[in-house]
Amino acid sequence: MNRTHNKALADDLVRPLFHTSVWFYAIVLAAGTVVACGAAAWGYQLWYGIGVAGIRWPVFWGFYLVNFVFWIGISHAGTLISAILRLVDAGWRRPVTRCAEVITVFALMIGAMFPIIHLGRPWLAFWLFPYPSAREIWPNFRSPLAWDFFAINTYLTGSVLFLFLPMIPDFALVRDRSTGWRRRVYGALAFGWRGTTKQWNRLESAMQIMAIAILPVAVSVHTIVSFDFSMANVPMWHSTIFGPYFVAGAIFSGIAALIIAMAVLRKTLRLEGYLLPLHFENLGKLLLLMSILWGYFVFNERLTVWYGNEPHEMAVFWATQRGEFAPFYWTMVVCNFVIPLVLLSNVYTRTITGCVVASFGVLIGMWLERFLIIVPSLAHKQLPYSWGTYAPQPVEITIMAATFAAMVLLYALFSKFVPIISIWELKAGQLTAPQGHATPAHSGAKVAPEAGG
């Protein structure tokens, strides 16, 4: 690959930063309006009290916690795709990693909002920080909610670093192509990157360390989210399978979110030359694998409960299997298992469209899965006298819609200000392609002077 080609590639990928289409403003305006509605809904809830939401006795957790688990699940996209594929040095990952890492960071930020929104007294949420206070009391480290607090903060810090590190050379590239205030901002973000061999080596080691470190953190974070449920002696929550079941589900929904994000970016930013059918094909295969794994976990969970035939658990089991929650349950099975299995198991439908359709199914199905874990169990606890039901209220639905809009908004803004495809990694990949086994560190060093200037 020659310098002219590299220049054309960089031109192509930084174009969205310097040329704004009217669509960008339209998307930002539309998504921003919905986010503003969500903020207003939260303000309304803060003013009048958490009672404006639909939660009630005995279903004390509702839509907010469903969305919390859903978004934390989505955040597993970046870690899996990026860290694992980076560690095994899968060449096809290069245009995909940053799209995935951005989903992680934004989904975590959105997900971490929900435990605060759902609190009865959210203005006291800071009491979960272990700090020496006049109250002379620490957080209760026996509580899974305290574990959650630390797990999510660790994961958020880790994924921000993991996202930021490989952006540094691209910030330098943008810095060198821009003038005025942009040059100063990107210059500050580039941390004085000049593309020396030493810098490349350090960057590569730092990324390697982060890729290894982020994996156990990602697994632990969703395991701990599952502990919020499995630690409590509530029918069909108190299960040892929840840890791996939640992690598998999280990765499953994360891949689906990534496929949708990539398909949207491909069209809106004209990245057809970079996000190839091959990438969708490979991610589609991963999605298929996770769909089968998810089906295996659900089968395990359901079969053991049914065979054990414990009365408290059977009440929840039948409520989801053929009672009032059955329509949601069977929609979930179709969306998470039947649709991906049919669409992705043959080459004729494992196209970009097929992958996107399956991914939408998975997102709907995985959202329903979290709903079906939380609500039916709380509605059918041990004493039949205290059984109840739950229906979401407008404020909960508005805030939920606002979080989806927030994802669109943050993603649109990010792809406007940062090259959404890692330019230097793509170049490094093309440079090493003929040799096949050169490390990106060496190849990067050769590309760097051009990338920087």
Partner 1 sequence: MAYRWGMAVDLDKCTGCEACVTACRAENNIPTVGDLQAARGRAMHWIRVERYYEGDFPDVRVKFRPVLCQHCDNAPCEAVCPTYAAHQNEDGLNAQVYNRCIGTRYCANACTYNVRFFNFFNQEWHKPLHLQLNPDVSIREVGVMEKCTFCIQRIKAAKTAARIENRAVIDGTLQPACAQSCPTTALVFGDLNDPNSRVARLSRSPRGTKLLEDLGAEPKVTYLQKQPWYEPDAQ
Q: Does 72 bind partner 1 (CB under 8 A)?
A: no
CA distances from 108 to 368, 380, 444 (A): 19, 30, 31
Query: Which span sits near partner 1 by CB under 8 A: 49-57, 164-172, 291-299, 352-360?
Result: 49-57
Q: Closest approach of Cβ 305 to partner 1, in Å?
A: 17
Among 132, 307, 383, 435, binds partner 1 (CB under 8 A): 383
Whichever of 55 and 203 has its CB closer to partner 1, that residue is 55
Among 196, 233, 304, 439, binds partner 1 (CB under 8 A): 233
**Rg for the chain, CA atoms, rounded:** 23
Which residue is it, tokens 């295969």? Answer: 285
Among 1, 28, 119, 441, binds partner 1 (CB under 8 A): 119
Among 21, 143, 196, 205, binds partner 1 (CB under 8 A): 143
> Helix 97-117 vs helix 144-164: angle between axes, to the nearest 10 degrees?
150
Among 89, 382, 439, 453, binds partner 1 (CB under 8 A): 382
Q: How many residues bind partner 1 (CB under 8 A)?
A: 44
Q: Does 48 bind partner 1 (CB under 8 A)?
A: yes
d(CA 205, CA 242): 34
DSSP conformation letters of 305-352: HHHHT-HHHHHHHHHHHTSTTHHHHHHHHIIIIIHHHHHHSSTTT-SH
Query: Which span sits near partner 1 by CB under 8 A: 3-11, 127-135, 288-296, 349-357?
Result: 127-135
Q: In 3-state terms, what secondary structure has residue 385?
A: helix
Neighbours of 212 (CB within 10 A): 12
Whichever of 32 and 388 has its CB closer to partner 1, that residue is 388
**Contacting partner 1 within 77-116 (CB under 8 A):** 115
Candidates 219, 243, 213; CA nearest to 231 is 243
CA distances from 229 to 237, 238, 388 (A): 5, 7, 18
Cβ(83)–Cβ(215) below 8 Å? yes
**Contacting partner 1 within 253-292 (CB under 8 A):** none
d(CA 216, CA 226): 15
Whichever of 7 and 121 has its CB closer to partner 1, that residue is 121
Query: Which span sits near partner 1 by CB under 8 A: 97-105, 174-182, 227-235, 255-263?
Result: 227-235
d(CA 226, CA 240): 10
Q: Closest approach of Cβ 241 to partner 1, in Å?
A: 19
Buried b (16+ CB within 10 A) or exposed e, 167-183: bbbbbbbbbbbbeeeee
**Cis amide leading into 139 (omega within 30):** no
Q: Closest approach of Cβ 208 to partner 1, in Å?
A: 36
CA angle 115, 120, 124 (to 5 degrees): 75
Among 2, 140, 179, 309, binds partner 1 (CB under 8 A): 140
Q: Does 60 bind partner 1 (CB under 8 A)?
A: yes
Q: Does 131 bind partner 1 (CB under 8 A)?
A: no
Neighbours of 245 (CB within 10 A): 24
Cβ(226)–Cβ(376) below 8 Å? no
Q: Does 55 bind partner 1 (CB under 8 A)?
A: yes
Query: Which span sits near partner 1 by CB under 8 A: 43-51, 96-104, 169-177, 336-344?
Result: 43-51
State phi, psi for 388 to the nearest 5 degrees: -155, -165
Q: Does 433 bind partner 1 (CB under 8 A)?
A: no
Amino acid residing at 5: H
Distance of CA 331 to the CA centre of its chain: 22
Q: Does 194 bind partner 1 (CB under 8 A)?
A: no
Cα distance from N-terminal residue to C-terminal residue, the chain? 17
**Contacting partner 1 within 2-21 (CB under 8 A):** none
d(CA 138, CA 130): 6
Among 1, 28, 144, 314, binds partner 1 (CB under 8 A): 144
Among 83, 156, 234, 269, binds partner 1 (CB under 8 A): 234
Q: Does 378 bind partner 1 (CB under 8 A)?
A: yes
Q: Does 372 bind partner 1 (CB under 8 A)?
A: no
Q: Closest approach of Cβ 434 to partner 1, in Å?
A: 56
Among 71, 149, 155, 162, binds partner 1 (CB under 8 A): 149
d(CA 334, CA 358): 11
Whichever of 51 and 453 has its CB closer to partner 1, that residue is 51
Among 74, 83, 109, 128, binds partner 1 (CB under 8 A): 128
Q: Does 385 bind partner 1 (CB under 8 A)?
A: yes
Residues of the shown chain interacting with partner 1 in the complex, contacts defined by CB under 8 A? 48-51, 54-61, 115, 118-122, 124-125, 127-128, 135, 137, 139-140, 142-146, 149, 228, 231-234, 378, 381-383, 385-386, 388
